[in-house]
Chain A
Amino acid sequence: MKRMLKSAKWRDLLVAVIVTILVWFPLVELDAFEEVYQYSRSHENWELDEVLLLALLMPGPLAWYAIRRAREAARLARESAKMAEDLAHAQKVDSLGTLAGGLAHELNNQLQPVIGLSGLLQNQIPPEDPRRRQVDLILSGAMRSRDAVERVLNFVHREQEALVPIPMSTPMRTLMELLEIGCPSSVRLAIEIDEAIPAPNMSWPDVESIVMNLFSNAISAMEGTGGKLLVRLENVTDAALLEQGYVARLTVQDTGTGIAPGNLKKVFDPYYTSKDVGKGTGLGLWQVHRLVTDAGGSLEVESQLNQGTTFTLLFPAETPGTNGFKD
């Protein structure tokens, strides 16, 4: 019953019936429609006074109900047409992106001898030599081609970031496959990724940067000793968190050196680093914190010395309408 009342259709119908009853009862009780009553009395064969009264009253609420339903249906149709259009456009941009990416990779390789060797020839031919001008022209033409490739990639990336909210699960799997290769053999890597994680409220390069920074820190914390690294991406099921708009939870847990309690509050400060001089800039976790909070997410860190560290990140979903993607 509760569920039925939550549906707009049943709610509207119930309101229409209640309104009809509420209006009908006092009118009947008060004999307000005396003339209607007399009229129906003068036509004894009808004997329809109350029925007629009801019939006269019904069109109002029913019309209201019909209009509500029609408006709702029109809104749904508009939304679904818009979604289909957005999806078709997103698919087109995605295909264009794949095509442009493949072509750009090929062109960048083919341009390498032209740009590399004409630059080398420039150094070998003195400026006054007439052949120098020929080499200059070859190099500038090739550089313009390189810029054109860059422009196409920039355009496609802008379109993709604006239009294709990438559900987190698929690229995360690819990313983890690559990081698995980079994982030292002394570290046991466990990857758990739920199906169908919605698109986060941030661009994919930002998510990638967050994951890689946390991964890299975890590996450093286990350097020499080895250990276990868990990377888990899951759908949020906790009602309180869903209420706050969080849809995905990323957990990166290591069994490394851990962080001293006194330093735990400082890990997100810029330039905080536990690494040796020259090995870390200290900007990694600060950057992670900035990206997550800018996107409306949240992050927590728990750590025990010589036991390990756990980072828990919560991501809100991509916001419909504003599309939430940043340049």
Chain B
Amino acid sequence: MARILLIEDNDSVRETFELILQSAAHEVVSARTGIEGQAALDREVFDLVITDIVMPDRDGVEVISSLRKRKLSVPILAVSGGSRTSAIDYLEMARILGADATLAKPVMAQDLLDCVDRLVASRAG
């Protein structure tokens, strides 16, 4: 069981991820925007951050680079539904800026849980 910060602006996607993660007994703290997410990171400690790469505001990219700048070692999983939908590959960029793993939406429940387990285990190990 891990404590996870989930940053996702789309309501139904956020609730979906919450349900999937909770089904595996993870504790989820949700944020709607990058700013809310940053505030949660200032307040609490997490085992993992899952963030959408919110394209209009580039929130996700900011969250990742801000975590890296602050040298927080928490693993980051970047998720986007916009991968390969424009000239810039946001997931590739998230990886280079410091995301430990990336997943393209729509994600299968088991793939999400496997990825979360792997990232949390890598931190514990």
**A112 lies within 8 A of B88 (CB):** no
Q: Is the CB of B106 within 8 A of A178?
A: no
Tell me if B13 counts as interface (CB < 8 A to partner A): yes
Annotate B86-125 by CB proximity to A: 1 below 8 A, 0 otherwise. Answer: 1111001100111000001111111010000000000000
Instruction: Tell me the smallest distance from the CB of B104 to a CB of chain A, in Å.
Output: 7
A120 with B88: in contact, given A111-B106, A181-B61, A185-B69 (CB under 8 Å)?
no
B97 touches A182 (CB 8 A): yes
Q: How far apart are the CA atoms of A212 and B91 in the complex, in Å?
A: 12
Q: How far is the CB of A212 from chain B (nearest CB, A)?
A: 5
Residues 39-90 of B at the A interface (beta carbon under 8 Å): 55, 58, 61-62, 64-65, 68-69, 81-82, 84-89
Residues of chain A lying within 8 A (CB to CB) of residue B84: 104, 153, 157
Asked whether, in the complex, the Cβ of A204 is within 8 Å of the Cβ of B85, the reply is no
**CB-based contact B85/A153 at 8 Å:** yes
In the complex, which of the residues A112, A113, A117, A215 has the most CB atoms of chain B within 10 Å of its own CB atom? A112
Instruction: Report whether B108 and A108 are in contact in the complex, using a CB–CB cutoff of 8 Å.
Output: no
Q: Kindly state whether residue B25 has any CB partner on chain A within 8 Å.
A: no
Would you call A142 an interface residue if the criterion is a C-beta within 8 Å of the partner chain's C-beta atoms? yes
Interface SS of chain B: helix
A117 touches B81 (CB 8 A): no
- Bound together, the chains give a CA A212 to CA B65 distance in angstroms of 14
15 residue pairs from A and B, CB less than 8 Å apart: A98-B86, A101-B86, A109-B105, A111-B106, A112-B106, A113-B16, A117-B109, A123-B110, A178-B61, A178-B93, A181-B65, A182-B98, A183-B65, A184-B68, A216-B96
Instruction: Give the number of residues in A that approach B within 8 Å (Cβ atoms).
Output: 43
**Of B85, B92, B93, B106, the contact of A146 (CB 8 Å cutoff):** B106
* Cα of A302 to Cα of B67 in the assembled complex, Å: 32
Q: Are A104 and B16 in contact (CB under 8 A)?
A: no
Within residues 10 to 54 of chain B, which ones have a CB less than 8 A from any CB in chain A?
10, 12-13, 15-17, 19-20, 23
Shortest Cβ distance from A215 into B: residue? B96
Contacts of A182 in B (CB 8 A): 61, 64-65, 68, 93, 97-98
A236: min CB distance to chain B, Å: 23
Size bracket of the B interface: 35 or more
A104 to B82 CA separation, bound complex (whole angstroms): 7
Question: Does the CB pair A113–B58 fall under 8 Å?
Answer: no
Q: CB within 8 A of B106: which of A115, A123, A171, A215?
A: A115
Residues of the A chain whose Cβ atoms lie less than 8 Å from the Cβ of B109: 115-117, 119-120, 123
B85 touches A112 (CB 8 A): no
A85 to chain B, nearest CB (A): 23
Query: B95's closest neighbor in chain A, by CB?
Result: A212
A7 to chain B, nearest CB (A): 39
Q: Assuming the A-B contacts A119-B110, A157-B84, A181-B61, are A112 and B13 also in contact, with contact meaning beta carbons closer than 8 angstroms in the complex?
A: yes
Are B69 and A174 within 8 A (Cβ)? no
Question: Contacts of A123 on B, CB cut-off 8 Å?
Answer: 23, 109-110
User: Once the chains bind, are A117 and B104 in contact (CB under 8 Å)?
Assistant: no
Given A208-B88, A208-B92, residue A108 in contact with residue B81 (CB < 8 A): yes
CB-based contact A120/B20 at 8 Å: yes
- The answer for the CA separation of A115 and B12 in the assembled complex, in Å, is 12
Nearest CB of B to A281, in Å: 12
Give the shortest distance, in Å, between B89 (CB) and chain A (any CB).
Answer: 6
Convert A151-175 into 0s and 1s, putting 1 for each residue whose CB lies closer than 8 angstroms to a CB of B.
Answer: 0010001000000001000010011
B87–A112 CB distance below 8 A: no
Is A105 within 8 A of B96, CB to CB? Answer: no
Give A30 Cβ to nearest chain B Cβ, in Å. 72
Which of B19, B88, B96, B106 has the most A CB atoms < 10 Å from its CB?
A: B106
Cβ-defined contact, A178 with B85, below 8 A: no
- Flag whether A237 is at the interface (Cβ < 8 A): no
Query: Out of A102, A109, A183, which one reaches B13, CB within 8 Å?
Result: A109
A202-257 contacts to B, CB under 8 A, are 204-205, 208-209, 212-213, 215-216
B-chain residues with CB within 8 Å of residue A108 when the two chains form the complex: 81-82, 104-106
